[in-house]
Amino acid sequence: MTTEGLPQSELQTAEAAVAELPAEILLPIETPTPAPPMVVPSLDDSSLYIHRELSQLQFNIRVLEQALDESYPLLERLKFLLIFSSNLDEFFEIRVAGLKKQINFAREQAAADGLQPHQALARISELAHEQVSRQYAILNDTLLPALEKHRVRFIRRRHWNTKLKAWVRRYFRDEIAPIITPIGLDPTHPFPLLVNKSLNFIVELEGIDAFGRDSGLAIIPAPRLLPRIIKVPEEVGGAGDNYVFLSSMIHAHADDLFQGMKVKGCYQFRLTRNADLSVDTEDVEDLARALRGELFSRRYGDAVRLEVVDTCPRPLLDYLLKQFSLSESELYRVGGPVNLTRLFSITGLASHPELQYSPFTPVIPKLLQNSDNIFSVISKQDILLLHPFESFTPVVDLLRQAAKDPHVLAIKQTLYRSGANSEIVDALVEAARNGKEVTAVIELRARFDEESNLALASRLQAAGAVVIYGVVGFKTHAKMMLVLRRESGEIVRYAHLGTGNYHAGNAKLYTDYSLLTADVALGEDVAKMFSQLIGMGKTLRMKKLLHAPFTLKKTLLDMIAKETALASEGKPAHIIAKFNSLTDAKIIRALYKASQTGVRIDLVVRGMCCLRPGIAGVSHNIQVRSIIGRFLEHTRVFYFLNEGEEKVYLSSADWMERNLDKRVETCFPVEGKKLVMRVKKELEAYLSDNTQSWVLQADGRYLRSSPTGNQNPRSAQAGLLEKLTVPLVSAR
């Protein structure tokens, strides 16, 4: 109640009225004060960033979740569970090993998120133990019982009948025992050096051997050539697909390997080692020779994880941990086979097509279906392909025709992951043998493909091709091909640029864009890129192509800044970007600043994302989603509204420091209203996905989307399959 401005008589009356009010309501009446201004953290504040390794682990957890999704066929659910295992192996071999190396060499460095390596390792251990336990629970309690209902059985020892026991004994005697080499542990037989991720058994023995030794322990390494699951003949196991684990056979007959000794226990284990190659390119004269040496050492790097069957007694666990210099937090006790990835062999059972995805045929654009000359088609217009929905065949056909065409003079191509025996390589070999000038830029250091790429290089060199190993200090990750053809007396350039690798197998499993073009400016730019990679000289100015480590990052920051400036003027501004990972701190800060000024930002990030969306005053205009489905999302697409003059780029690069600063990458424009609208619509399909998308929260959690209200279920991948492919009639 206020008396300000009342006449004197009314003031006296009001004061008298107040005096008569009960004491309990005579409380001070405060004038409302405006809310304090929002405290917006500095864009360098560590709380605004997510640790990259923890974010990568979250992606692996999203993959594991697919194993519980009953909308997938049963064997595909098993496949997701096994992909989780494979991903986790690499995560420990590279990510965890890298963090441990920082600690061991006293070089701990906190990233933008502020976490020190030892803090990150503690959190990783907690999450990984929790998820590995879930994984085995899903396998044992959900997937294996469901498979058994379809007569796909893994018969455990306790369920072996007399006939099966006899068959296992014969199989063990004939196929396993002659190959296995048990190693007794004593002063003259120290603990063996075990290969990375190999299956091994620690055996507890009782008794004295022929030489009077009684150490009580032995190791049985299981040779990699032995299958980890063995199919039982129908006349033994009955109808259906019946399997026995190799580990079960070895457990059952370990006594046979130690004649006269008593086996008190036999327990499987598996060691994961640091598998990151370390080649000092500055001190290496021959990179190929150095890599061959390092490939051997990869098998015996420092230990980073120990998986042991959960029945193993504590004293043996402690013994193994001591042998490998590992801590308790690096021990994983599992309720099943320690090498689950070997189960991939049964995920494509021909006897059970109904438990797998329905097959389909990728389409070939009509322009190419009725043409025998791919050059004549590309010369008239750009052709954009989205794999695996559209076939990878036109890319291979471009090379095949170039290899045979008498008018083709030269072929230049980058190869990152292609395999030594692919159709792409066959065509390059044929072209070289036909007298074409073939130059291949092969990235030998493509992780886990080094050995294949060394074989690829040797094969091409034997055919007469010129093989280049890229640039010292910079991985060549760009995906580009250039064909030079003489037409009417002039040399015409035909180019292929892609977001993915020249690997026909991956093109059936990964989503990637391919652009086939005869655009003069783009062809000249690709030629300049090859000149920079193969020869030496200053950075060449490009007309259309953006390339790392020179112009790509700067141009991305400029385009983000332009949208920011437009938003600050009150104009519409929008950025859509789709890629595998977002970790570059400069890019993230630019996106935060854009969000603060009102730019709408939609990100589709499959894996690592260090940006936190939805923070008031910072990232409230940013949404991040991850799509996990039948195909591995691999396209890199960047869209900028650009004041109505929309810009769309496709790229080989993620928004990571390693891609933008330390690799050779390409980023190329999509031109023409029709193609721009097509890519934009395909991006919008991912943004509207409400069945296979996971939305990142400000606290780092991902929540799975689901239809709400009257929404229809929408899946980007299913929609593209329906629109772009031809379903095959199944033999079900």
Residue 93: DSSP 8-state: I
Phi and psi at 363, nearest 5°, equal: -85, 155
Q: In Å, what is the CA distance from 172 to each residue of 72, 161, 249, 264?
A: 37, 16, 7, 20
Rounded to the nearest 5 degrees, what angle is found at the Cα of 710, between the Cα atoms of 708 and 711? 60
Query: Which sign, positive or negative, has the C-alpha torsion 102, 105, 110, 111?
Result: negative
Q: Which residues of 117-148 are buried (b: 16+ CB within 10 A; e: fewer)?
A: beebbeebbeebeebbebbbebbeebbbeebe
Active-site residue identified among 477, 503, 547, 634: 477
Strand partners, 696: 702
Tokens matching residue 718: 């299913």
What are the DSSP calls for 204-272, one per residue?
Answer: EEES--TTS----EEEEE--TTS-SEEEPPHHHH-SSEEEEEHHHHHHHTGGGGSTTSEEEEEEEEEEE
Helix (H, G, I), strand (E, B), or coil: what is residue 621?
coil
Instruction: Assess whether 477 carries a catalytic annotation.
Output: yes
Tokens matching residue 558: 């400029």
Overall residue count recorded for the chain in this entry: 732
d(CA 499, CA 515): 9
Q: Which amino acid is at 252?
A: A
Q: How far apart are the first and last CA of the chain?
A: 82
Tokens matching residue 78: 């098993």
d(CA 520, CA 494): 9
Helix (H, G, I), strand (E, B), or coil: what is residue 101?
helix
Q: Are strands 663-669 and 546-548 parallel, antiparallel or unpaired?
A: antiparallel
In this structure, the number of other CB atoms found within 10 A of the CB of residue 56 comes to 21
Going by C-alpha positions, the residue among 412, 432, 434, 407 that lies closest to residue 490 is 407
Helix (H, G, I), strand (E, B), or coil: what is residue 169?
helix
For tokens 């003079």, the residue is 409
In this structure, the number of other CB atoms found within 10 A of the CB of residue 668 comes to 26
Taking the mean position of all CA atoms in its chain, how far away is CA 553? 22
Q: Which amino acid is at 686?
A: Y
Q: In Å, what is the CA distance from 273 to each residue of 101, 191, 203, 277, 396?
A: 12, 16, 22, 12, 38
Query: Which residues lie closer than 8 Å to 188 by C-beta, 6 or more apart?
Result: none
- Catalytic residue numbers read 477
